Structure 1
Amino acid sequence: MTASTRHGIHHVTAIAGPAQRNLDFYTRILGLRLVKKTVNFDDPGTYHFYFGDEAGSPGTILTFFPWEYVAAGRLGVGETQETVFRVPEGAIGYWTHRFIEKGVAHDSPARRFGETIVSFRDPDGMRLALIGVPGIESEPAWSGGDVPAQFAMRGFHSVKLLLKDAAPTGAILTDVLGFSEVGREGQIVRYKAGATGIGGIVDIHEAGAFLPGRMGGGSVHHIAFRAADDAEELAMARKLAENHGLQTTEQRDRNYFRSVYFREPGGVLFEIATDAPGFAIDEPVTSLGRSLKLPPAYENRRREIERGLPELA
C-alpha cells in the first residue's frame, strides 16, 4: 500500500459519561470490538476505550474518554456534528429495527448524496449515523459481538463538521490531508480522500454565524487523520506551517500510533496519526481489549491506577 492510499480518517475520539454504559452500548448494541482498554495518557485516572474492527484498523476506530459525572456538551459551530459508519446497503432495515428494539434514539431513514442514512444518538447524546453502502457485503466485519457479520459496521464512512465557513478548513483538507472537494448538497460541502473507501469522507456543514459548541459528554474531542509513517506525518506538519501558518504540537507517542495535533481554522482539534505500529504491539489480535494496558511510564503505578478506575463487568 502506498502512502497516497492511506489518507482519510484514522480515528475519532469523543467524551462519554459512565464507563460501563459506554462499553455496553458500543460493544453490545452497535457490535463493535473493544480493541484496547487503556487510560488517558494525560489523565491516567480515566479510561481510554478504543472500539473498532477485529484488528483496530485505521478508519474503523472510535475512542472515548469516559468521565462518570461529565456535564453534557452542547452542539455548535466549531465542532464535529456527526460521526458516520458504513454498513451494507441491505442492512439499513436490520439496524432500524434493532434501534427500535433496543430503545436507541434515532431518526427516520433519509438520503444524503444519494445514499440512505439513519442518524441516531448514543446514551450521552453523541450524534452518530449509519449509511448504507452498496457492494461492501464481502468486506471483513467483526462478528464476535451481538451483531451478525452480514449487518455489521465496516468502519467509518465520514465525519460531518459544523463550521461557519467551509473554505478555510477545506484548504487544509485538500492541501495537507489528501482530500479533494467532490460535491455539494444544500449547506454541505463534501471532501473525499481519493479512492479511500473506509474513512475517506469529510462533510462540512456551513452554518454561518451560529452558536459555538461547548465540549462535554457526547462531544467529539478530536478527529485524527492518517499518515503512512513518521516521514509523511512530518511532511504534513511542514506543509501546515509553510502554506497555512499553522503549527502542530511536538510528536507524541501514543503507543499504538504517533501523533501531532493542531487546531484547524474552523476551531476543530485535528490530529495526524501514523498507521504504525497498531494495536497488536502489546497483546495478540485474538485477545485485544481484554486486559488493561498502560504506557511504560505508568506501569509502576498500576495498582494505584487500577484502584482508581471504575469497575467493569
Structure 2
Amino acid sequence: MSTVAFIGLGVMGYPMAGHLARAGLTVRVYNRSEDKAKAWVEQFGGSHHATPEEVAQGADLVMVCVGNDDDVRQVTVGKQGALSGMKAGSLLIDHTTASADLAQELDAACRERRIGFLDAPVSGGQQGAENGALTIMCGGTETDFSRAESALTHYAKAVTLMGPAGSGQLTKMVNQICIAGLVQGLAEGLHFAEQAGLDQQRVVDVISKGAAGSWQMENRHKTMIADEYEHGFAVNWMRKDLGICLEQARRLQARLPVTALVDQFYGDVQAMDGGRWDTSSLLRRLRALGGD
C-alpha cells in the first residue's frame, strides 16, 4: 500500500493527503478545482491528474473526501470515475459523510470489480485533519480494514472498525446527533450566563472541569463568547449531515426530537446568511432572538 490516490482537497482532504505525503507514500491527487490540486503538489510533491479515473490508475489505495452522496457517485462510479481506473486488489476508502445506503451501493460495485471498500467518515474537523488527530469510524470487512489501517493512522488518533459496509456512516450519524444537542446546550448556557451578568469565561473555566465539559466547550467557547464564526465546520454541511440522520431515523423508527429541533435552528442560522458560519453560531441565533 505505497501508492495513494486522494480525491477531494477541501479543508479536510487537503491536510489529510498532506499527512500521507509526509509519511513517505506516493500520493496522486485530484480536485475539481485544478488550482487547488496544483497548489497541493507544489507544497507536498506527488502529482495531480485531470480525472478521478486517471488519478486512480496504479494506486493501491483510493481515498475520497468530497461533499455529499451525489459528489461521491460522480467521482467513483460516474463517467471517468475512480472505479474505472482502479485495479483488482486495490482498495477504495470513502471519508465523505454520506448515507449508509451509498456505502452499501459502493461496496457492491467494488466487489463486482474485485476491489475492497471501506466507508470511513471522520470526526475532528479541520483542526483534527491538520493535526493528524481525526477519529475514523469504518464499515467493511476485517480484511480490508487491516489493509487500510496503517495508512489511516497517518492522520488519525483513533481508527475503529464498526461492522460491515455502512456501519461507519451509521456511527457518524450517532456522532452528529450527539454534537447537535451539545452545541445547542452550550449556546444556551453561554447565552444564559451572558443575560445573568456572569463572566462567561470564568463560568466555562469552572464548569468545564466537571460533568458539563465537552470537546465543543473546550474548543469553541472562546470564539462563541467573542461572537466569531468565520471558521470551523459550516452550518450548511451540518444541515446536510443532520438531514441524513433524520432520514435514517425515520427508516429505523428512531425518535430524534432534539436533533430535529436543532436542525430547524440551523435553518434559522442559514436564513441569517450564516450557512458558512461554524456550527457554534447557534449562540448568535439566540442573541438575535433577544438580549444583548
Q: Same fold (TM over 0.5)?
A: no
TM score, norm. by length of structure 2: 0.29
- Which structure dedicates a bigger proportion of its chain to helix? 2
Which structure has more relative contact order (CA 8 Å, sep 6+)? It is 1
Higher-Rg member (1/2) = 2
